[in-house]
Amino acid sequence: MLVKNESMAMIQAQGSLNASNAPDFQGRLTAHLESEVSFGLVVDLSQLESLDSAGLIALVAALQRSRMLGKQLYLCSVPPGIRMIFELTQLDRVFEILEEGDQSTLMAA
């Protein structure tokens, strides 16, 4: 699902983000980042049930692309089990992770 306003786009990840669907997901993230319409991208992980290394690689690649383009990439509504993966890999220090409610403020900007 994609939501857009004048400055930010939002994509919601659902189910599993793994080797079978990570390349497609990464492509969608990249396409929205490369769009001239948005200042950046918010990735809503509230409906994400599992994440493997391929899913992490897709998110890291999107973050790298966002930085190359001078755009922002945020993760929001990260479930506790998924957040643990980010903490164990220390990617919670690399990604900007929004807390509940922060994304609505950002999307309204």
* Spatial distance between the Cα atoms of 88 and 2, rounded to a whole number of angstroms: 29
Residue range of the domain that includes 88: 2-108
Note the pLDDT tens digit of each residue in 7-52.
788 999 999 999 999 999 999 999 999 987 778 999 999 999 999 9
CB 59 within 8 A of CB 95: yes
Q: Structural domain tally of the chain? A: 1
Helices (H), 70-108: 80-88, 102-108
What is the CATH classification number for the domain harbouring 57?
A: 3.30.750.24
Note the pLDDT tens digit of each residue in 68-101.
999 999 999 999 999 999 999 999 999 999 986 5
What stretches of the chain adopt beta strand conformation (E)?
Answer: 2-4, 8-17, 40-51, 72-76, 96-98
Q: Residue 40 pairs with which residues in a beta bridge?
A: 8, 72
